[in-house]
A and B are shown apart, each in its own frame.
Chain A
Amino acid sequence: MTRIAGREKVMSFLNYLISGLSLGSVYAIIALGYTMVYGIAKMLNFAHGDVIMVGGFAVYMSMNALGLNPILAVIVSIIVCTVLGIVIEKVAYKPLRKATPLAVLITAIGVSYFLQNLALLIFGSDAKLFTSVVNIKAISLANGQITITGETIVTIVVCIIIMVVLSLFIKKTKAGQAMLAVSEDKEAAELMGINVNKTISLTFAIGSGLAGIAGALLCSAYPTLTPYTGSMPGIKAFVAAVFGGIGSIPGALIGGLLLGVIENLSKAYISSQMADAIVFSVLIIVLLVKPTGLLGKKISEKV
């Protein structure tokens, strides 16, 4: 009897772990946007979470009002978010390129509220029921004791694809190398003939496009959509980015996955009310022990 109970415990642990990895994959995709923009523009784009919400609404409207199929709806979401990211950068952040970091941070918070309230104005405050973009059936393993939903599979696979493609893009393309150069030394990058402003815009475009994908995946797994949907996942993905080492792309992946797993296991075994508190406590502990985050590089100034 105890052996069967033990086995059940292991199975339920695996279930929580897998759904934690799925949640973590969404955090990782969002965290990429934070970390890339931070790495290159040295700013925290706190409106990033709300771009996810816009992505969610883009999918919702494409499927419900325009009757598009899920894949097209996600593409619409990517396009809407990419354009939105470029516009936000141009209108709100670019004029502040030489301003203090604090001014940029406050502007980002302003943009965040602006997007939330704009969505409130257009869509109202009541929650919309989101239809999942995933049509894959759940897989059950170990005589049905482990269930992996279609959303989980798609989310994890998409996250892996994004990581691989992004790493190749940065390592192998001229634009990717330019991004690395800009993240290290803007002036020296200019002297190579790199248009730094364009590179920053490109980074915003990529990060926001990823937010469009994240919005679709997030709302598919947690199918209620409000103007505030992006806010908490946005903050948690920011935590994930800092956790992994802000500015580091592998750091965003590891930070995101760990955060998702910690959050899910806390909900399962400790308390679902306390889960967020535990997540943030972990961040505080990591930062106390390693202020640059898990994979963060030490910033050394050579004189």
Chain B
Amino acid sequence: MAMLEVKDLEVTYGVIKAIKGVSFEVNEGEVISLIGANGAGKTTILHAVSGLLGKAGGTVTYEGQDITAYPAHKIVELGMAHVPEGRRVFAQLSVLENLKLGAYTRKDKKELEDTLQTVYKRFPRLEERKNQMAGTLSGGEQQMLAMGRALMSHPKLILMDEPSMGLSPILVEEIFSIIRDISASGTTVLLVEQNAKKALAIADRAYVLETGNIILSGSAEELINDESVKKAYLGE
């Protein structure tokens, strides 16, 4: 059974159908990439999965539980974290306060300190700046904070929306190597990226999205070698 199963998902904004019946699944331990152009509906899908958006149709099942109608804050408790597009850190709170909010749903106070240390180990810069206002961090640091904050909830599945957006090539490398680490430590990853090359390089499987529909899916390797993907997304 898949960890996350999305079936015939439909999302509408007013009268506009943004997602027109999308189905995909994520198995435990996998890194899955959703790739597609701007406006294809990638972010909308993540928002629908994590409960920020209501669904017009279809179902979302997580670990065998139907979470279609769950509000976002309840889904977090089930072990699914969402790193939103644009980082969305709490600019007027300190780095440490942001991280603590990431652990808002956790009740195991003792293990919490361990998680914090793990996050600091993975992102040493966050520890250096723990008392600094999050709004004063650079874009790359904010991305790390957003990821660290999501990890604080100790998720089994982490959704990441455009983690490389707006970052310099060196930082993009760093972020992707961190995603690889996160995956290696046992967290399942559902990644949305415009940077298709990077997204396919890191993924086990991927889905290609075009104007609210999945038009192609397969192993990352298959997709990298697919002529239409090469042309449209890899710039070859």
- Asked whether A and B interact, the reply is yes
B104 touches A192 (CB 8 A): yes
- Contact residues of A: prevailing secondary structure: helix
Interface 9-mer from B27-35, B72-80, B193-201, B207-215: B72-80
Kindly provide the distance from the CB of A2 to the nearest chain B CB, expressed in whole angstroms: 54
Among candidates B52, B101, B105, residue contacting A187 with C-beta atoms closer than 8 Å: B52
A187 touches B88 (CB 8 A): yes
Q: Which residues of B contact A297 (CB under 8 A)?
A: 92
B100: Cβ under 8 A from any A Cβ? yes
Among candidates A174, A190, A192, A302, residue contacting B71 with C-beta atoms closer than 8 Å: A190
Kindly provide the distance from the CB of B196 to the nearest chain A CB, expressed in whole angstroms: 23
Among candidates A174, A188, A193, residue contacting B90 with C-beta atoms closer than 8 Å: A188
Q: Which residues of B contact A187 (CB under 8 A)?
A: 52, 72, 84, 88
B72 touches A190 (CB 8 A): yes
Cα distance, A177 to B81, chains bound together (Å)? 19
B2: Cβ under 8 A from any A Cβ? no
Task: Count residues of chain B with CB under 8 A from any CB of chain A.
Answer: 28
Cα distance, A194 to B72, chains bound together (Å)? 9
Among candidates B52, B72, B73, B92, residue contacting A180 with C-beta atoms closer than 8 Å: B92
B97: Cβ under 8 A from any A Cβ? yes
B81 touches A191 (CB 8 A): yes
Residue from the set B52, B73, B81, B91 with the largest chain A CB neighbour count within 10 Å: B73
Task: Count residues of chain A with CB under 8 A from any CB of chain B.
Answer: 19
B82: Cβ under 8 A from any A Cβ? yes
Q: Which residues of B contact A126 (CB under 8 A)?
A: none
A195: Cβ under 8 A from any B Cβ? yes
B90 touches A190 (CB 8 A): no
Residue from the set B74, B92, B100, B104 with the largest chain A CB neighbour count within 10 Å: B104
Given known A-B contacts A181-B90, A181-B93, A297-B92, A191 and B52 have beta carbons under 8 A apart: yes
B52 touches A190 (CB 8 A): yes
Query: Which residue of the partner chain B has the closest CB to A174?
Result: B104
A191 touches B72 (CB 8 A): yes
B153: Cβ under 8 A from any A Cβ? yes
Query: Which residue of the partner chain A has the closest CB to B47?
Result: A187
B41: Cβ under 8 A from any A Cβ? no
B104 touches A184 (CB 8 A): no
24 contacts between A and B (CB under 8 A): A177-B93, A177-B101, A178-B104, A181-B93, A184-B90, A187-B88, A190-B51, A190-B52, A191-B50, A191-B76, A191-B84, A191-B88, A192-B73, A192-B101, A192-B102, A192-B104, A192-B149, A193-B73, A193-B104, A194-B73, A194-B101, A194-B104, A195-B71, A195-B73
Interface residues of A (CB under 8 A from B): 174, 177-178, 180-181, 184-185, 187-196, 297, 302
